[in-house]
Structure 1
Amino acid sequence: MNSAKEALDRLREGNRRFVADKSNAGTSVQERRREVVDGQEPFAIILGCSDSRVPAEMVFDQGLGDLFVIRVAGNVVAPSQIGSVEFAAERYRTKLVVVLGHSQCGAILATLEELKRPNENQSRNLKSIVDRIRPSVETLLDTDLKHDHDALVHQSVRANIRASANHLRHGSELLEDLIQNEGLLVVGAEYSLETGMVEFFDGIPN
C-alpha cells in the first residue's frame, strides 16, 4: 500500500498528465475491470464536490479501483461522509484523504447568496448543506473581501475546504487514531475549472 506521500505524488503526477492531455491509460478498461472484481485497494480517498465538471478519476488520471471517491455538493462533511472515509481508511488501509473543492463552486455561491439575502422558502435539505458551509465563510463578509466578489468566492472556497479537512481530522476518534498512529494524512486541495490544475494547499507536510 502506498504511503501518504507516495499517494500524494501519484495524484500530482496524474493531474499533470490531465492538464497536459496525456492520459496514461495503460491497462485496458475491460482488463482492469476483471482485475478488481474480487477486491479493491484504492491508494487515495477523495471527498469531492458533486459538480459534474470535477470527476476525481479524470482530474487525477486514474482508473478503476484506484480512488475511493465520495461526492457531495460543496464537499461538506456530515456523518455519512465521515463514516465513508472511516470505512475506506480502516478497511483498505488507505493513507491519504483529499478534500477536493473547486473554483466557482455553486454551493459556495448559494451560501453567500443566502447570507446576503436569506431565502425563507429554501428547501430544508439544501439548507442543511448551506448551514454546513456557513460558519467557514460568513466571517469573510465582515472583511474588505465583501467589496471584491471574485476574491470573496475564492477565499470562501478555500475556507470551506480547510473547514472540511479539519472536521475530518478532528471529528472522528477512528481517523484521529489513524492519523496519530498509522500515517493517515488529510489534505485540502482546490481544482481550477479554468486551468484543470489541482493545488494542494492545506495540511501538506514540509
Structure 2
Amino acid sequence: MTQQPGSIEPLAPADVWEILRSGNERFVSGAVDHPNQNAERRSSLTESQHPMAVIFGCSDSRLAAEIIFDVGLGDVFVVRTAGQVIDDAVLGSLEFSVEELKTPLIVVLGHDSCGAVKATIEATSSGTTPPGYVRSLVERITPSVLHARRNGFESVNDTVEEHVKQTADRIVDSSRVLHTAMQEGRVAIMGVTYRLAEGRADVVSSLGEV
C-alpha cells in the first residue's frame, strides 16, 4: 500500500503518482476525502514542509491542483502560469522544490480548451500577436504549436497535449540542476493533461525513472 499524503518518508516517483492518481479517481467519482485540511495539519506545517510532488500547471481557475488530486496542506508544491509557460521564476521554483524540499516528482499539468494555447494557434495562423505581455505567453507557446503542426495536429486539445510534452522536455533542457537531478534518479517528470468535463488527469509523457 502506498503511503498517505503528508508523509515525510521518501517516496519513489511512481508511488507519488499513485497517490495523486488515486486522489484524482476520488475527485472524478465525487467520493473525495479532503485529506490534511484540518487545524492539526495546519499546525504541523508551521516549521517545515515536505511536499511529495511539485505540480507546474496552467493558471486556469478550473485547474486547482489540490482539488483535482484530492490532497491537502503541505502535500504538493504548486507553480502556475498561463499555459504552463516556463520562465526564470518557474525554473527557480522547480529547482527549489527539488533541491531544497527534495520532491521526487514534477508534474507538468495542462488542460483541454486552454485559452493560452488557443490564442497561440490563432496568432500563428493569422501572423499577428496579441498586445502587452500576453505576447510573451504566445511567443513561448509558439514552438509547441509549430511542433504539433509538423506532426499533423491542428486542434486545440491535440496541441495542448503536445505542449505538455514539449514543456516537460524544455524543463530538463533549460535547467542544468534539474537535468542532473533526473540523471541521478532524484526526480522524474510526468506530463499530464486534464479533461475539464470529466475531471480526469491522464499521463501523456514521462521522463526519468517513473
Q: Do the structures match in fold with TM over 0.5?
A: yes
Residue 64 of structure 1 aligns with an amino acid whose one-letter code is: L
Shift of 1:15: 0.4
1:198 to 189, 196, 201: 201
**Partner deviation per Cα, 1:159-205 (whole Å, 9 max, x = no partner):** 11011100112211111111111431011000000100000110166
Contact 2:35 2:71 (C-alpha < 8 Å) held by counterparts: no
Contact 2:52 2:76 (C-alpha < 8 Å) held by counterparts: yes
Shift of 1:9: 0.7
1:134 to 126, 142, 148: 142
Structure 2: distance between partners of 1:47 and 1:79: 13
Residue 27 and residue 67 in structure 1: after superposition, are their counterparts in 2 closer, same or farther (change >3 A)?
Answer: closer
Structure 2: distance between partners of 1:138 and 1:177: 28
Mark the runs of 5 or more structure 2 residues left unpaired by the alignment: 1-9
Corresponding position of 1:123: 131
Corresponding position of 1:29: 38
Corresponding position of 2:4: none
**Partner deviation per Cα, 1:118-147 (whole Å, 9 max, x = no partner):** 336x2241111111110111244467554x
The total of aligned residue pairs comes to 200
Residue 26 and residue 165 in structure 1: after superposition, are their counterparts in 2 closer, same or farther (change >3 A)?
Answer: closer
TM-score, normalised via structure 2 length: 0.89
Residue 197 of structure 2 aligns with an amino acid whose one-letter code is: E
1:46 to 30, 49, 55: 55
Residue 166 of structure 2 aligns with an amino acid whose one-letter code is: A
Shift of 1:115: 1.1
Structure 2: distance between partners of 1:79 and 1:141: 27
Contact 1:18 1:58 (C-alpha < 8 Å) held by counterparts: yes
Residue 126 of structure 2 aligns with an amino acid whose one-letter code is: R
Contact 1:168 1:186 (C-alpha < 8 Å) held by counterparts: no
Q: Using the TM superposition, name which of 43-52 and 165-174 deviates more.
A: 165-174
Contact 1:187 1:200 (C-alpha < 8 Å) held by counterparts: yes
Structure 2: distance between partners of 1:76 and 1:27: 29
Whose RCO is larger (CA < 8 A, sep 6+)? 1
Corresponding position of 2:5: none
Identity of aligned residues (%): 34
Alignment of 1:83 onto 2:92: yes
Q: Using the TM superposition, name which of 175-184 and 34-43 deviates more.
A: 175-184
Contact 2:53 2:104 (C-alpha < 8 Å) held by counterparts: yes
Mark the runs of 5 or more structure 1 residues left unpaired by the alignment: 147-151
